[in-house]
Structures are given as structure tokens and as C-alpha cells.
Amino acid sequence: MCGIVGAIAQRDVSDILLEGLRRLEYRGYDSAGIAVVYNNEIQRIRSLGKVNELVKAVGEKTLAGGLGIAHTRWATHGKPSVNNAHPHVAGPLAIVHNGIIENYIDIKNRLIEKGHQFTSETDTEVFVALVNSYLEQEGNLLNATKRAIKDVKGAYGTVVIDKNEPEHLVAARSGSPIVIGLGIGENFVASDPVALFPITHRFIYLEEGDIADVSRFKIVIYDKNGNVVNRAVNEVNIENDEAVKGEYRHFMQKEIYEQTKVVTDTLAGRISDEHFVVECFGTNARDVFSSIERVKIVACGTSYHAGLMAREWFESLAGIPTDVEIASEFRYRKSITQKNTLFVTLSQSGETADTLAAVRIAKQKGYAHTLCICNVPGSSLVRESELVFLTRAGREICVASTKAFTTQLVSLLLLVGSIGVVKGTISSEDESGYVASLRKLAPSIEKALALDSKVEEISREFVNKRNALFLGRGAMYPIAMEGALKLKEISYIHAEAYAAGELKHGPIALIDADMPVIVVAPNNDLLAKLRSNIEEVSARRGILYVFGTPKLGLTKDPNIRFTEIDEVDELIAPIVYNVILQLLAYYVAIIKGTDVDKPRNLAKSVTVE
Ligand code: AGP
């Protein structure tokens, strides 16, 4: 979703700003813009499409000036267009903004009555016009921004500059992240530290309600009550720059192939011999786990699918009643808080607005404890949760999540195991069996990846398809859902998942020779039932792509393309089979010629509702 970069320095900052935007490209956007102050004038350039278009528009000549802001916009209010692209200006001010100002229409009408003319359809232009309206009264940019912020409802991560105050910029955060990157005699701001890695690894994360006055040699931060506060400086080290594709054609392919490594990394130090290391969830994890009686999981998209998978494991392995809900539903539903419940959020980014809102609501509603499983250290969700477990997937750049999902599943197995052991619902014999299965995961994924060329061959049959169904049962149903989501996200084929037993209650009407049906069928108790479901589809001339165990015992059938998958422990089968569905989606997208890493309309991190 939208990205922000800002800088105050002695040197010209436009190249730093443009490089920052390039590094935020993975988040998804539809237009970009830059504004730099030079000789008390704002030079603003905006363009539709990719950052490269903006770079072309800026041209060969570096925009001179040591104070500037830049932005990639993902349209919310108003279509993608040059006029709606940020930065927006009003009087001497320019602004970039992530988030949504919910009461912008009221404010806009008020400002129109006072004679202000708007040139865009955005809430952001209203925001900057509001700051400008207070400028004369308040005397300076900082106070005018503080005043304007009191009027707005909604979410913002924002940076404002004033051509008449070229010695500083003002940044503010509420609901949308902002970090300050520290330099020597120069300072920077961004919506994600990644934007600033080429110039600094030292960051201050603004907290909710903070406003920062940032100049070259000084940073003053005010909290939501207006008090000056000290925020910690964090060293964020990246071993090597993960934003490089290397030998791979796409980041998605690279990230699929990294899964053996990230699974091993995520397990390191978290299982020992035959045991789960409960303390990896926090020093007080044992006390928390022994006190809880049930689990509530809330997440969005792929992370929600991880939650559905976890419910299977919590209930079947550890006997813990578990409930899973989409965050955007949970936050507005009048739900009942059950006592002694552990509230678990799952998120790759840790910045998903709905998930973040959910954890805040959970605290208000009196959930006993909160725990998040997240891939980004220092993210908002991590900072706001009581217990934190970091997946170690490394930076995921492709918008469609692959390796982050896999590490979420690994982490959830560790959580289920740890809670089960602490509560005594998992025996030590079962514990050592589960740990042994987890140790087999990386080699099993390796074997699944070896099917790459077979899956690529199958994918060619999807070139003219517009729809697809995914079927699974039990633990494989969430995997079918994730397979369908992956296919639709990156190939734009309409795909739906069904629990195979549900087929005859309606969706079977869709089956004909044009409807590919993808089935995930590892060896488990439901195999015979699944075989019947497969036969029902074949009898109606549906073409089936079955990935499964030979134990499925299918008879030769021209409607069935069967790909044999090596036997894999039942516990980890969903994770392994998911890798195959990731490969399928990837190759279908290539055949369809889509922008695999940056699919249309999507954003990597959904920081607005
Ligand atoms: C996955 O491929 C998605 N693009 C999307 O569904 C994502 O999982 C969802 O937006 C949640 O993101 P999070 O894990 O960062 O909270």
C-alpha cells in the first residue's frame, strides 16, 4: 500500500527519495510523486504508474534541494491519476499521507465555504488544506499540524513540509507507521525502514499519536498528550540486501525456493531434542499457557488461512477449543469475549490495519492475553502484543505471500505443541513425534520443489481457463483455500475452494469440461471420502488435477491428471502440499503474462481499512 519517504539534509535529497520509493515498490501502488524545496519554492513532479515513470518525469537533472518528500499512492479516495497523486499542496505546504481521513468531506465543505479550491478528489489534499488554514493563526508548521490533527478522524502516517521553513519537516503517526532514519547532520523519514537501508540502519519508530519535528541536527517528538518524549533508537541490521532477485526470474519464485531455509531458521532454537521450547514465546509463556482454556485467532487473507489451519491443530492435537475470525469482521462485530482466552493475531507485515485494530479491541474487551505471530520485528503489532513470536521468513517482497505463510504454519505448530505440553494435553510421546515430524519438514519441502517442472507442465493447461475449483478435506481444506487465493491473486483466474464434502450441496452445478478442479490428497483418514468426491467430479466430465498419495488408489481415468507426491508425515502434509499449489499459481501466472510480483490492485501491506 502507499509508501512515504522524506529527508532533510545539506545535500540534494531527490535521488535518496526516488531510491526510497523504488524500495517501497513491492508494497503496491498506482502513482508516485516527489516534492523538493529549493530557494523557498516547492518543485513538485507526479506521475501515473511505476516509479520509473516518475524518474523519467524528473529527467536527467537531479532536483536540487535538501528538504523533500516523496510518495507512492494506492488509490482509496479518487481514481489513480496525476491529479490525485501525492504530494498535495496548499499555500506554502506540501504533504504526503498514508491512511484515510474519514471526516474529510465535512472538513472539505468547511474549507470550500472559506474559499479554498481543491484540485483533487483526495482526503489528503483536504488534510494539507486544513493545516494551511491554521498556519497564520498558529504561526508555524509544527503548531498548525498539531492543531489540524485534532480535527481529523481516521488514520494517518504523514509528513508535511513548508517552503518558508526549509530547516525542518513535521511527521505524524496515528494508525499508519512512520519511522525516522537517523543520519549524521541529516535525517530521514519513511513508512518502512526498508526505504532507507542504503543510508541508515538506525531508526526511531513513532508511536501512536506521536508528532515529530525533524531537522538536520535535532529531532523532537511529542506524544499524543503534547509532552516531549524520548523514543528508543533501534539498530536494524540486514545481513545482505534481500531486495535482489539473484538467479530467479521473480521474487515469488525466489521466495518459494527459500522455504527450506526459512523453515529451518524458524525452528532454530525453538525445538530441542524431542521437545518444544515453550520459552521462545516469552519468559512468562508457561504461566500464560497454563492459565488459558481456549484460543481465539484473528487475521486477514493468507494469514487468516494460517489461522484456519491452526484451529485444526489446536483442537485435534492439543484439545484446545479454538475459534478463528477475519479481522475486518471481528473489529465491528458484537462478539462475546470468553474468559481465559488467548487472543492470537497472525500477520506477515504486522501493519495490517484491521488486524491491528482487532488486537486493540481485544484488549478493551478483556481478553486474558494477546500473542502475535509476525514476520517484521518492530512492527506495530509486535509492539502492541503481550507475547510475540517472530517468524524468520526474511523480507517477503512479492505481494502474494508464500514463505511467510509457511513460517506462520511452522510457528503455529510450535504454539499448539507448547500449549499442549504445558497444559498436559499432549503426551511426551506425542511431543517427540511432532518434533520429529517438524525436523522432516525442510527435506519434504525440498522434494516438493523437485516437482517444479511437472507442475509447470500442468500449468500450461490453464492458459485459457477463467475459473477453477480447489478441493480439500479436514486439514487440507485451509490449504485448498490458500491455493485458490494464490491463483486468483497472481493469475486473475477466478478460483474458489470447497471442503470436498460440500461439493454436492451446490458447487457441483459448476462442473463441466471447462472447469479445472484441483485436489490435494495426502494420506489421511479422509482418503476414501475424498476419492468418492473425485469420482463425482469425473462423472460430470470435470477435469481433475490431483496431487496426492498413491494410496488414493484412483483407477485410470482420462479426466484425471494425477501427480504422485512422496509420502509425508500427516502433521506436515498441509505445509508441503501448499508449496505445490504455490508453484502451480506461479506458473499459471507466468503463462497468463501477469505482473507476478506486483499483481494489479493489490498492496503488500494493507494499512488502511
Ligand atoms: C497474501 O498473498 C495477501 N496478499 C494478503 O491476503 C495478506 O495475507 C493479507 O493482506 C494479510 O497481511 P498480513 O499477513 O501482513 O497481515
pLDDT single digits (tens) 123-148: 999 999 999 999 989 999 999 999 99
CATH number for the segment(s) 3-235: 3.60.20.10
Ligand 1 centroid vs 605 CA: distance in angstroms? 7
- Which of 302, 308, 488 for mutating ligand 1's site (highest number of atoms within 8 Å of CB)? 302
DSSP code per residue over 591-605: HHT--SSS-TT--SS
pLDDT number for residue 27: 74
Nearest Cα neighbor of 299 from 207, 375, 223, 365 is: 375
Establish whether residue 489 lines the binding site of ligand 1, counting it when its CB lies within 6 angstroms of any ligand atom: yes
Percent of the chain with pLDDT over 70: 98
- Dihedral (CA of 402, 404, 406, 412) sign: negative
- Containing H/E element for 123? helix 123-138
Q: Which residues pair with 324 in a beta bridge?
A: 297
Task: Please tell me which residue in 2, 372, 374, 398 is annotated as part of the active site.
Answer: 2
Q: Which residues contact 246 (CB under 8 A, 6 or more apart)?
A: 254
15-29, 282-296, 472-486, 557-571, range with the lowest pLDDT: 15-29
Does the pLDDT value for residue 348 go beyond 70? yes
Q: Which residues contact 24 (CB under 8 A, 6 or more apart)?
A: 3, 5, 72, 190, 191, 192, 194, 195
pLDDT number for residue 246: 79
Taking residues 369-389, what's their average pLDDT?
Answer: 93
To which residue does cell 525516522 refer?
180
- Which of 176, 345, 379, 401 for mutating ligand 1's site (highest number of atoms within 8 Å of CB)? 401
d(CA 485, CA 581): 10
Establish whether residue 400 lines the binding site of ligand 1, counting it when its CB lies within 6 angstroms of any ligand atom: yes
User: What are residue 41's phi and psi, to 5 degrees?
Assistant: -125, 150
Domain range annotation of the chain: 3-235, 251-592
The answer to whether domain 3-235 and domain 251-592 are alike in fold is no
**First vs last Cα of the chain: how many Å apart?**
11
pLDDT number for residue 603: 83
Establish whether residue 124 lines the binding site of ligand 1, counting it when its CB lies within 6 angstroms of any ligand atom: no
Nearest CA residue ID for atom 16, ligand 1: 347
Ligand 1 centroid vs 569 CA: distance in angstroms? 27
Taking residues 58-74, what's their average pLDDT?
Answer: 89
Longest Cα pair distance anywhere in the chain, in angstroms? 82
Q: Is the peptide bond before 87 cis (omega within 30 degrees of 0)?
A: yes
Q: Are 475 and 573 in contact (CB under 8 A)?
A: yes
Ligand 1 centroid vs 490 CA: distance in angstroms? 13
pLDDT band of 242, cuts 50, 70, 90? low
**SS3 assignment for 41-108:** EEEEEEEECCHHHHHHHHCCCCCCCCEEEEEEECCCCCCCCCCCCCCEEECCEEEEEECCECCHHHHH
Establish whether residue 149 lines the binding site of ligand 1, counting it when its CB lies within 6 angstroms of any ligand atom: no
3-state SS class at 234 = strand
Q: Is 604 a catalytic residue?
A: yes
b/e burial code for range 237-273 (CB count within 10 A of at least 16 → b): eeeeebeeeeeeebbbbbbbbbbbebbebbbeebbee
Give the three cell numbers for residue 10.
545539506
pLDDT number for residue 209: 93
To which residue does cell 520459552 refer?
279
**The CATH homologous superfamily of the domain defined by 251-592:** Glucose-6-phosphate isomerase like protein; domain 1 (3.40.50.10490)
Nearest CA residue ID for atom 8, ligand 1: 302
Which atom belonging to ligand 1 lies closest to the Cα atom of 399? 4
Establish whether residue 399 lines the binding site of ligand 1, counting it when its CB lies within 6 angstroms of any ligand atom: yes
Which atom belonging to ligand 1 lies closest to the Cα atom of 404? 14
Q: Are 524 and 567 in contact (CB under 8 A)?
A: no
The alpha carbon of 449 is separated from its chain's Cα centroid by a whole number of angstroms, namely: 24
Nearest Cα neighbor of 507 from 462, 555, 542 is: 542
pLDDT number for residue 238: 61
Residue 145's region, left for phi above 0, alpha for psi from -120 to 50, else beta, is: alpha
Establish whether residue 401 lines the binding site of ligand 1, counting it when its CB lies within 6 angstroms of any ligand atom: yes
Q: Are 598 and 30 in contact (CB under 8 A)?
A: no
**SS3 assignment for 387-433:** EEEECCCCCCCCCCCCHHHHHHHHHHHHHHHHHHHHHCCCCHHHHHH
Nearest Cα neighbor of 584 from 501, 414, 461 is: 461
Nearest CA residue ID for atom 6, ligand 1: 301
3-state SS class at 224 = coil
Establish whether residue 347 lines the binding site of ligand 1, counting it when its CB lies within 6 angstroms of any ligand atom: yes
Establish whether residue 402 lines the binding site of ligand 1, counting it when its CB lies within 6 angstroms of any ligand atom: no
Quickly list H helices, 440-518. Answer: 441-449, 452-459, 477-491
pLDDT number for residue 605: 79
- Which of 328, 346, 348, 402 for mutating ligand 1's site (highest number of atoms within 8 Å of CB)? 348
Mean pLDDT of the chain: 93
Establish whether residue 538 lines the binding site of ligand 1, counting it when its CB lies within 6 angstroms of any ligand atom: no
Task: Please tell me which residue in 403, 486, 488, 604 is annotated as part of the active site.
Answer: 604
Q: Is 2 a catalytic residue?
A: yes
pLDDT number for residue 416: 98
Task: Give the residue with greater pLDDT, 581 vs 235.
Answer: 581
pLDDT band of 77, cuts 50, 70, 90? confident
User: What are residue 201's phi and psi, to 5 degrees?
Assistant: -120, 10
pTM for this prediction? 0.78
Percent of the chain with pLDDT over 90: 82
Nearest CA residue ID for atom 5, ligand 1: 301
User: What are residue 113's phi and psi, to 5 degrees?
Assistant: -60, -35
Report strand pairing: 211-215 vs 387-390.
Answer: unpaired
